Amino acid sequence: MNGYHWGTAGNDRASALRFLLLVLGFLLLFPAPGSCASLRVVTEEWPPYNYAENGAAAGLVTAVVRAALDRAGLDYTIKVLPWARAYSLALHDPNVLLYSTLKLPEREPHFHWVRLDGLGVEMHLFRPRHRRDIRIGTLDDAKAYRVGLTRDSAPHHFLLRQGFQEGVNLFPVSDELLNVRKSEPGNNRIDLTTGDPLSQGYRLRQAGLPADYWVRVLPLFSTDIYMAFSLATPPETVERVRAALRQLRDEGFIDATRDGYLRRLAP
């Protein structure tokens, strides 16, 4: 009797072991959705925060994002795309990270948001320096002028909420430098544009234009810069990046990176 019971127990243990090995093998071959997927990181041309240089993503925010993803131990790729395409990928596809982006009320429900502590922007209205006839004291005053700006950008949505209308006083474009061409003497197809002073100066220098072509006339808003993860990104991935950013902030990496870029960009 004892021999019979021990033999049965041994067979049961062997069967259980084989079953466990099969389950483990299945899990290795077919991991849980999103658990091991590479993160697709997308950004746009918004120098000096993020831009393409020699075929790779570069810029102030790019340096911080790369450091955070490396610290989090994630597998990822970064592509610089037109803003509308990058935003659409993050909105509809799993495992997508979009940066740099601003947290707007209409965007908030559609992403997992991670704030980049210590990195922010101030958005303004600008006029061309040759347009001394433009006088603006309030945002309502600006409604009498034609504002050129990047389509689906934060200022675009902000001004729409303030009662501006496309085709009346808002004229979106796909490339910020088009607003320079449209505002030049002889064209005068727009009167104003939007943006932050650091980026505007950088873009103008890149294009070989005077860095003071745009003159600030009215502040619009100030905000932090964010990373936006698609809703189908695993929460543990988002939290790993958030924790990595906290470490980088506490170590002084973010402040040092920002200050280093500002020194290099100083006139």
More confident residue, 264 or 22: 264
* pLDDT, mean of residues 92-97: 98
Which residues are CB-contacts of 97 (< 8 A; sequence separation ≥ 6)? 39, 40, 41, 42, 65, 76, 90, 227, 228, 229, 230, 233, 241
Q: Is 118 left (phi over 0), alpha (psi -120 to 50) or beta?
A: left
Domains of the chain: 39-120+224-265 (3.40.190.10), 122-222 (3.40.190.10)
Rounded CA-CA distance 162/143 in Å is 10
Q: What's the pLDDT tens digit per position in 122-146?
A: 999 999 999 999 999 999 999 999 9
Percent of the chain with pLDDT over 90: 73
Cα 34 to chain centroid, rounded = 21
* Number of H-type helices and E-type strands within the chain: 9, 10
* pLDDT, mean of residues 233-256: 97
pTM tops 0.75, yes or no = yes
